[in-house]
């Protein structure tokens, strides 16, 4: 799948898809900040002390994000055996001031929220609070039509067949006028309850009968969040915080609910309008709920990946369930329970990608949790994103395969990530 000028938030939440249109149901009051000068986009932040440690230097791949103006900023971090071996940042954090990017800044992680949520569900399975093969109807009676035939496992691995609520037309923009409404209007502040989001999804016919196919659906993870709420008596956000964020000391990771801003250092996000860039940083992410509500940093995401795949968060039986996959339709990727397996030709890689308008995220690493890369970049909404698409692939291959990358690794990576992003939807 190519990155197009108009992309759906359905795709953003499932992982940066660009075929189709983009969500406009959550409009925000953006501010036009003037023209986007090429120099402002391409100017990198000064290279940090970590730029060439550990035999990793992906600065060229990172610069590709901003070289053609498709993104305003990008930063990434690679860790190995719990140690940072490379971190760098390029681009401009704030176009109004020209402030360079800080590599330790916070960003919206979109669908990288899903592994956090699936981990908590699996912990509840390990505690005997539910089973993966329980029907949804047992725990959420009356919420989902045919809920007696859909299992918890099918929610987590996207084989439920449930329609993705973010593909409903009310969530899309598709032309300059609706992009302007998204950037400058008032709908982006709208609060959604998870029950509302599920109701929108189940009002559409399912894609297929439960277990008879694979299709990414954010509705699945809103339901997973509701399961956590029902079983624990606490919100999914508080359970993720209590069970994962605090024990791992992920001090810059939050799941903000309806809070529209980002606290601490962060990059601004922008949409392209005829009169110049519009700041679209603010967002009420209740529209993403447990499918894409999180905010984090590259350091925190790398540490979460290392803990999850290093076996520190789940018991052996649930760890095995996490990485039991179903095919996605690509020969280079498959999907487990909130995590994806990708084959670039240099060994199995595990993780997720995600995004919301103005932010893209990639978190992938080795199956043993010993090496991972976390990437954040800021697509300049309304511009051709094909350059950013290629840059994601190049950076993933360089940081995770390095000198061992076989011929065809880039093609395999592109195929794997396209399948996971919902190509052809």
50-82 tens-digit pLDDT: 444 457 899 999 999 999 999 999 999 999 999
What pLDDT does 408 receive?
85
The mean per-residue pLDDT over the stretch 279-302 comes to: 96
Query: If pLDDT is split at 50, 70 and 90, which confidence band does 44 have?
Result: very low
Query: What gap in Å lies between CA 304 and CA 311, rounded to an integer?
Result: 11
Greater pLDDT, 148 or 43: 148
Out of 212-216, 274-278, 378-382, give the one with best mean pLDDT: 212-216
Q: Which residues contact 87 (CB under 8 A, 6 or more apart)?
A: 48, 50, 51, 75, 76, 77, 78, 103, 298
What pLDDT does 352 receive?
96
* Boundaries of every domain in the chain: 9-420
The mean per-residue pLDDT over the stretch 346-372 comes to: 95
**Catalytic residue status for 19:** no
What pLDDT does 62 receive?
96
Cβ neighbourhood burial of 55 (10 Å; 0-12, 13-18, 19+): exposed
What pLDDT does 133 receive?
98
Catalytic residue among 4, 11, 19, 111: 111
What pLDDT does 5 receive?
28
Q: Is the pLDDT of residue 24 over 70?
A: no
pLDDT tens track for 217-229? 999 999 999 999 9
| Least-confidence region, from 10-14, 263-267, 347-351, 379-383 | 10-14
- What is the CATH code of the structural domain delimited by 9-420? 3.40.710.10
pTM confidence score: 0.89
């Amino acid at each position: 799948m190519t990155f197009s000028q108009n992309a759906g938030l359905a795709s953003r939440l499932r992982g940066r898809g660009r075929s189709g249109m983009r969500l406009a149901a959550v409009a925000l009051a953006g501010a036009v900040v003037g023209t986007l000068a090429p120099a402002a986009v391409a100017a990198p932040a000064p290279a940090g002390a970590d730029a060439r440690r550990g035999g990793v230097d992906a600065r060229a791949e990172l610069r590709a994000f901003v070289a053609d103006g498709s993104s305003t900023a990008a930063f990434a971090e690679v860790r190995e055996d719990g140690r940072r071996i490379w971190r760098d940042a390029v681009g401009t954090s704030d176009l109004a001031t020209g402030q360079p990017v800080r590599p330790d800044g916070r960003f919206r992680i979109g669908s990288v929220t899903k592994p956090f949520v699936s981990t908590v569900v699996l912990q509840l399975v390990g505690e005997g609070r539910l089973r993966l093969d329980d029907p949804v109807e047992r725990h959420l009676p009356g919420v989902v039509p045919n809920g007696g035939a859909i299992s918890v496992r099918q929610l987590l691995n996207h084989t439920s067949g449930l329609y993705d609520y973010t593909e409903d037309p009310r969530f899309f923009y598709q032309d300059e006028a609706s992009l302007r409404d998204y950037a400058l209007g008032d709908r982006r502040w709208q609060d959604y309850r998870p029950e509302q989001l599920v109701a929108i999804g189940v009002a559409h016919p399912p894609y297929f009968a439960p277990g008879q196919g694979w299709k990414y659906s954010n509705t699945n993870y809103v339901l997973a969040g509701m399961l956590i709420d029902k079983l624990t008596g606490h919100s999914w956000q508080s359970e993720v915080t209590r069970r994962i964020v605090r024990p791992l000391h992920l001090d810059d990771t939050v799941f903000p609910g309806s809070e529209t801003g980002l606290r601490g250092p962060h990059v601004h996000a922008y949409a392209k309008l005829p009169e110049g860039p519009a700041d679209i940083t603010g967002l009420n992410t209740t529209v993403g709920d447990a499918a894409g509500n999180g905010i984090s940093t590259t350091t925190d995401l790398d540490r979460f990946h290392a803990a999850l795949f290093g076996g520190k968060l789940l018991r052996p039986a649930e760890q095995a369930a996490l990485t039991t996959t179903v095919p996605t339709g690509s020969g280079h990727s498959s999907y487990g329970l909130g995590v994806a397996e990708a084959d670039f030709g240099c060994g199995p890689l595990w993780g997720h990608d995600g995004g919301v308008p103005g932010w893209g995220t990639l978190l992938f690493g080795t199956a043993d949790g010993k090496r991972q890369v976390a990437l954040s970049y800021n697509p300049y909404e309304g511009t051709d994103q094909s350059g950013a698409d290629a840059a994601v692939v190049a950076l993933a291959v360089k940081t995770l395969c390095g000198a061992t990358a076989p011929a065809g690794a880039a093609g395999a990576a592109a195929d794997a990530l396209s399948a996971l992003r919902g190509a052809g939807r």
